[in-house]
A and B are shown apart, each in its own frame.
Chain A
């Protein structure tokens, strides 16, 4: 069965630092990939998604992710984080018409 791994459970950064959150899924074939974010006290929101085409996907709030098929990876990046990026980030894969989720990464940005 498909599984999703997020490498870091907690990440602490200072404002203006660069961010990269890792996400790997277990097997290939055609995959649809997502990053969702959950801000404190808010519901899950879609950051970005990959279905096909350009493997470098741009999302909201300056986030981007790169799909590397050979590495089964879909890492999330942001060149300069802000305090307001403090949230929990989830990677998910569409497998057999259900979303399989990573465990999430709690990101804390120090002002």
Chain B
């Protein structure tokens, strides 16, 4: 079974631009979560999508948004990029989300550099 895939793997943008990252979950997984990983703040939860609906959201500004398609693929968008948005963005999938004994499986991440 193929793992979680994320595209692109690396991205360079300038301040003020917007960016869209893509995540394809493991086949059959309906929950996709997004995390931001930075050296200063560590791993922080952004949001979770399940069956095309945002089910849970972390403490990030509205510039961070996402969506999920009917095939469970998910995208996250960051508008008006700031230098502090430079990070590794991780996507994780699971069958039903973090309820009960679910385990999340992570993709390799997209490394975003904002100049």
Contacts and interface: CB of A to CB of B under 8 A. Distances in A.
Interface of A: 32, 34, 36, 42-46, 49, 51, 90, 92, 94, 96-104
- What bracket does the count of chain B residues touching chain A fall in? 20 to 34
Contact of A46 (B43, B99, B103, B108): B103
Interface in B66-93: 90, 92
B45 A43 contact: no
Interface of B: 4, 33, 35, 42-45, 48, 55-56, 58, 90, 92, 97-101, 103-109
A45 B106 contact: yes
Given A98-B33, A101-B43, A102-B42, A49 B103 contact: yes
Contact of B106 (A43, A51, A96): A43
A28 B44 CA distance: 21
Given A32-B101, A44-B90, A51-B101, A98 B107 contact: no
